[in-house]
């Protein structure tokens, strides 16, 4: 699972690769769970037929999804859960992620790099993983919107993961004898499909990014 990533700060690349303009609110470069980060989604009003509604929008929200079904008096408890990653195999039936999955509330998280612990030496060595061509990663995610006791609405998101036991790169990471997982890194050509595909076609887009197109560097 990914619990640390570096967001994309280049406004030109954000527009060029993800089709959105950077919001006026800034976020941290090094992202950890429960931080406020940027994600890209199709606006909820997109199907209204209003030509003024953009195809995509950049949103600032909490990294760690809180379901819209969460009661206001249970938000504090929900906020303590580790919901920054979601297993794609079980998300549809999950209480936390099921609402977002069924409503096709999918998003893309722009990232310059992600970090994973390399345990092959017997100790966790932080490792930075990025695209070999230097371009940003587009990570598949889900988003949801929850309401607090005062009626205020808040955005949140999570990264989707898949099994990586046989992946030539991501199988190196995480503790020995534990299942290997990896976030879903989308190909640039699939961004629009990911945001707009009907729920029944979602799983076809959850594949492994080619390991040869990534580089991994131990953090010194």
CATH assignment at residue 46: 3.90.1680.10
Question: Is residue 126, in this structure, part of any structural domain at all?
Answer: no
pLDDT, tens only, 147-169: 888 888 999 999 999 999 999 99
Q: Is residue 144 part of a domain?
A: yes
With respect to residue 51, please indicate whether it lies within any of the assigned structural domains: yes
Give a yes or no: residue 81 inside a domain: yes
Report the predicted TM-score, pTM, of the whole model to 2 decimal places: 0.94
> For strand 125-131 and strand 214-218, is the pairing parallel, antiparallel, or unpaired?
antiparallel
Query: Rounded distance, CA 163 to CA 138, Å?
Result: 18
Flag whether 200 is in a domain: yes
Q: Name the 3-class secondary structure at 7.
A: strand
Give the total number of structural domains in the chain: 1
Q: Tokens for 109?
A: 């998280």
Structural domain boundaries, residue 44: 5-111+132-160+184-204+212-218
User: Is residue 170 situated within a structural domain?
Assistant: no
Residue 172 lies in a domain: no
Tens digits of residue pLDDT in 40-96: 999 876 665 666 668 899 999 999 999 999 998 888 899 899 999 999 999 999 999
Between CA 18 and CA 197 the distance in angstroms is 17
């Amino acid at each position: 699972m990914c619990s640390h990533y570096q967001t994309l700060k280049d406004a030109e690349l954000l527009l060029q690769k993800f089709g959105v303009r950077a919001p006026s609110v800034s976020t941290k470069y090094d992202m950890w769970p429960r931080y406020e980060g940027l994600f890209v989604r199709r606006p909820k009003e997109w199907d209204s037929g209003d030509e003024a509604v953009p195809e995509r929008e950049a949103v600032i929200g909490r990294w760690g999804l809180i379901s819209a079904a969460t009661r206001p008096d249970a938000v504090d408890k929900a906020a303590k859960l580790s919901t920054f990653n979601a297993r794609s195999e079980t998300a549809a039936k999950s209480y936390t992620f099921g609402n977002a999955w069924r409503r096709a509330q999918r998003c893309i998280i722009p990232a310059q790099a992600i970090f994973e612990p390399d345990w092959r030496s017997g100790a966790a060595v932080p490792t930075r993983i990025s695209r070999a061509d230097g371009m940003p990663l587009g990570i598949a995610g889900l988003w949801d919107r929850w309401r607090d006791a005062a009626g205020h609405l808040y955005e949140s998101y999570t990264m989707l993961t898949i099994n990586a036991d046989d992946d030539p790169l991501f199988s190196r990471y995480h503790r020995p004898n534990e299942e290997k997982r990896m976030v879903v890194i989308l190909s640039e050509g699939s961004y629009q499909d990911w945001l707009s595909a009907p729920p029944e076609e979602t799983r076809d887009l959850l594949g492994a990014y080619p390991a040869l197109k990534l580089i991994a560097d131990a953090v010194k």
